[in-house]
Amino acid sequence: MSEDTRSIELTRIAENHYRATAPGGASIEFGRGEGLMTPVELLLAAVAGCSSIDVDTVTSRRTEPTRFDVSASADKIDEDGASRVDNVHLDFDLAFPDDKDGQRADSQIEKLVGLSHDKYCTVSRTVEHPTTVDFSIRRD
């Protein structure tokens, strides 16, 4: 592992119900069932969240947005029985105050979304590039 490794711990709560916990203690429950986000929905949330943080960090230096909503969608596809998502799309719905600072923040949106996509968002860049995923198994 690298010096800059990211990690979570996953614990089964019940059938198809899991809790992921980050090293700092933050956690989220997910799975399959009522009231739970699926892993694919979490992936979309991660892509949208990563880019949102990039955009929000810079625009909030100028002013607070009056609206900051992002929706994420993707097509689930089947490739010979193996599923994955493709065509991930983010739709930013942003508004800023109608003043000088709001106009300056608004004028940066296209550039910031582009930089997030091309350079800063680790999640979307990982999804777009081939990424090694391996595993190990421990048994008692």
Give residue 60's pLDDT.
Answer: 96
Query: Is residue 11's pLDDT more than 60?
Result: yes
Q: Which amino acid is at 13?
A: I
Q: Distance between CA 132 and CA 116 in Å, rounded?
A: 22
Query: Is residue 1's pLDDT more than 60?
Result: no
Nearest Cα residue to 124 out of 65, 44, 37, 24: 44
User: Using one digit for the tens of pLDDT, what is the confidence trace for 55-74?
Assistant: 999 999 999 999 999 999 99
Q: Distance between CA 111 and CA 89 in Å, rounded?
A: 17
What does the block give as tokens for 116?
């997030």
Cα–Cα–Cα angle for 128, 121, 74, rounded to 5 degrees: 50
Q: Distance between CA 139 and CA 111 in Å, rounded?
A: 49
Confidence of residue 3 (pLDDT cuts 50, 70, 90): confident
Q: In what order do the strands lie in the sheet with 27-31?
A: 9-14, 17-21, 27-31
Q: Distance between CA 21 and CA 31 in Å, rounded?
A: 14
Q: Distance between CA 105 and CA 61 in Å, rounded?
A: 8
Average pLDDT, the chain: 96
Confidence (pTM): 0.91
- For residue 90, CA distances in Å to 26, 55, 96 come to 25, 13, 19
